[in-house]
Amino acid sequence: MLSESTVPRAVLVFASISVFILLLYGASDSPRVHSSSSGYPFNIFPSRLGGSDSKIPINGGGDYNKLEKVLKEAAMEDKTVIIATLNEAWAAPNTVIDLFLESFRIGQGTRRLLDHLVIVALDEKAYRRCMELHTHCFALVTQGLDFHDEAYFMTHFYLEMMWRRIDFLRSLLEMGYNFVFTDADIMWFRDPFPRFFLDADFQIACDHFSGNSSDMRNRPNGGFNYVKSNKRSIEFYKFWYSSREIYPGYHDQDVLNFIKFDPFIEDLGLKMRFLDTAFFGGLCEPSKDLNLVCTMHANCCYGLDSKLHDLRIMLQDWKTFLSLPPTLIRSLSVSWRVPQNCSLNYVHQHDSPEKSVQQTLGH
């Protein structure tokens, strides 16, 4: 039995422990932000350890308001925005960002789309450069990660950046925004919206297009997609992000190739379509006719210098095409002088990630 002198001491110790636990719980259970349109709980800057369900906003709650302000100013009437990400390596003068913005200015029906473009800067220098060049900029800084250098393909740094992007895009859907995501090494030559499918929740460009927009054997490229905000797309992005743990060491594009056959996608009722490379081409599979092309991607290309070389030729080809007499433009099937410095070996080396993952898992 405790003595009378021991009881107050025990009560004091118990009370101290209780207060500590309450403080610890309160610190880890920071408030969630709710989208007024979807009602889904989310945070803009999830912990890289906690995944998309983390409640810890890395940059603080004020970033939600900043992001909401930028999105609202840039959004079309149906709450659609165009999103591009940028780091220091691609933001330097006379590099990728300059070519990207130039393509909008010289494209057919694309200049007006700059009003709806939000550039998401992944580091401080990229943000400062964005503010010099463009109206709608947002700084997405991830604690403990530095994205300013060139992200070499399939390095740990590259994978972190790709998965960070997927989780950020998930948060936009939860805020009720539709988006067209575009890599900055994609040239916009025509307004792509007339070429999008009206009935799709998720539609994506391809490294290789089979000829059938519903064929799951198409080889999608995560650098360009158009996604509508709804429960199906939100749950799909959560599933996509969480699947990185099932396929460790793979980037988002390869993981998409694995999960697109998963029964969960069918159970969701997600309507997925693949975009024809005749309109949404790339160096993997160039658009064959400049009379049709909307966008061209410097994919299947390693190294910033090689990418810049072929992008500049691509822009010059487009300018030459526009300078032709209208009658000649319509009568010719004009194509590209690229790829040159970029290599198509990527297509052969990564022809079947489904097979490689089966070998990895011992199937």
Instruction: Supply 54's token pair.
Output: 């983390």
pTM of the entire predicted model: 0.78
Ordered structural domains, the chain, with CATH: 33-360 (3.90.550.10)
Residue 84: pLDDT band with limits 50, 70, 90: very high
* Cα–Cα distance, 285 to 295 (Å, whole number): 12
Residue 16 scores a pLDDT above 80: no
* Cα–Cα distance, 212 to 216 (Å, whole number): 9
Beta bridge partners of 86: 121
Q: What is the pLDDT of residue 146?
A: 46
* Cα–Cα distance, 163 to 168 (Å, whole number): 9
Place of tokens 């969480």: 242
Mean of pLDDT values over 140-149: 54
- Least confident among 146-155, 163-172, 196-205: 146-155
Task: Note the pLDDT tens digit of each residue in 339-362.
Answer: 999 976 544 444 444 433 333 223
Residues contacting residue 247 through CB under 8 Å, at least 6 positions apart: 254, 255, 258, 357
CA atoms within 13 A on the CB side of 227: 28
Place of tokens 């992000």: 241
* Cα–Cα distance, 97 to 185 (Å, whole number): 8
Mean of pLDDT values over 159-180: 91
Place of tokens 């995501």: 181
User: Is pLDDT larger for residue 39 or for residue 301?
Assistant: 301
Spatial strand order of the sheet with 295-297 comes to: 186-188, 295-297, 280-282
Residue 40: pLDDT band with limits 50, 70, 90: very low
CB 154 within 8 A of CB 253: no
Beta bridge partners of 204: 225, 274
* Cα–Cα distance, 292 to 128 (Å, whole number): 36
* Cα–Cα distance, 313 to 69 (Å, whole number): 37
117-to-82, 111, 197, 256, 317 alpha-carbon distances in Å = 5, 10, 21, 25, 24
CA atoms within 13 A on the CB side of 98: 7
Q: What is the pLDDT of residue 209?
A: 98
Q: What is the pLDDT of residue 60?
A: 39
Three-state SS for 62? helix
Whole-angstrom Cα Rg for the chain? 23
Residue 273 scores a pLDDT above 50: yes
Compute, in degrees rounded to 10, the torsion defined by CA atoms 64, 67, 71, 72. 60
237: enclosing H helix or E strand: helix 231-242
Task: Note the pLDDT tens digit of each residue in 199-251.
Answer: 999 999 999 999 999 999 999 999 999 999 999 999 999 999 999 999 998 88
Which pairs count as long-range contacts for 325-334, CB under 8 Å and 24+ apart, including other chains? 329/291, 330/291, 333/288, 333/289, 333/291, 334/289, 334/290, 334/291
